[in-house]
Amino acid sequence: MEVNKAVIPAAGYGTRFLPASKAIPKEMLPIVDKPTIQYVVEEAVAAGIEEVLLITSKGKESIENHFDFDMELEAVLEEKEKEDLLERVRYVSDLISIHTVRQKEQKGLGHAVACAKTFVGDDPFAVLLGDDVMYSDKPVIGQLIEHAEKTGCPVIGCQEVAREEISKYGSVQHSDRSGRRARVTNLIEKPAPEEAPSTLAVLGRYVLTPDIFPILAETPRGVGGEIQLTDALKTLADKRPLEAYKFKARRYDVGQLQGFLEATVEYALRREDVKADFHEYLQQLLTERGG
């Protein structure tokens, strides 16, 4: 199995980020000075992905513009001899070949992935959600692709979460666990903590095969009235071996406020040009507040 294509669903309403996400897609909210979606695209590129399909919706045109050439802006930067900024702007538009398709009605993540059917064709493909930003030595989607190539199976990216947190995610029932992997036997989307089969949570990265599409087409609406990818994967697990892989990364749940703030502070502290002053500021702030 060789994985060269990635699908990035970004059509959701982003209601947890209102009012910020009313006129700006939540994927365009910056972590330090880069939109969240750029971190996700960079992860795909670092894993060797060659083509990306963005699933978008009305009002998300700024995501496409972000990855497109902007001749006018480049000309202005060139004229003003702002070489450094020009390089940064060009880097984004040169990153990778990006295609888009619109999800006309936001019927859920499963429905969004189904919109990628034509782009995917007969190839295996990666799925990356913008809600989870990953900091790791090796790109998380690359870790999953490696496991998919080794086993020939579709793979779900997972990490352990606290039991009281599992109701935000899909919970993985599994068998035959060894090292970082396990065989998926069942999946439950957003279970009550006491009903979750495990605290192994599905966290926004997948390697899938085209046999998911006929299943998605038949999957009824589930939790929240949405067509859930987790429900389709549960059906897939009944038909063929499906692997869960516990990836290695610091994960930020940037779809909610706490995760977004943590990512902002930690990414700023990792930036060579920002970290010294920002660290000093944080220390001073804590001292003033008696922390």
Residues in contact with ligand UTP by CB under 6 A are: 9-16, 55, 103, 106-109, 111-112, 129-131, 255
- Between 90 and 107, CB nearer to ligand UTP: 107
- Strand, helix or coil for residue 75: helix
Nearest to ligand UTP of 103, 230 (CB atom): 103
Coil, strand or helix at 118 = helix
Which residue lies nearer to ligand UTP by CB, 158 or 268?
A: 158
- Smallest distance from ligand UTP to CB 14, Å: 4
The answer to whether residues 200 and 172 touch, using CB atoms and an 8 Å cutoff, is yes
Residue least distant from ligand UTP (Cβ): 12
The distance of closest approach from Cβ of residue 11 to ligand UTP in the complex, given in angstroms and rounded to an integer, is 3
- Shortest Å, Cβ 10 to ligand UTP: 5
166 contacts: CB under 8 Å, gap ≥ 6: 191, 193, 196, 199, 201
Give the H or E element holding residue 142. Answer: helix 140-151
Please identify, using beta-carbon distances, which residue of 105 and 194 lies nearer to ligand UTP.
105
CB 67 to ligand UTP: min, Å? 16
Cβ nearer to ligand UTP, comparing 77 with 114:
114
Q: How far is the CB of 224 from ligand UTP (least distance, A)?
A: 8
Q: Could you check whether the bond before residue 19 is cis, i.e. omega within 30 degrees of 0? A: yes
The distance of Cα 91 from the centroid of its chain, to the nearest Å, equals 21
Dump strand ranges (E) for 75-213.
Answer: 97-102, 125-128, 132-135, 155-160, 170-178, 181-189, 200-208
CA 33, CA 3: separation in Å to the nearest integer? 30
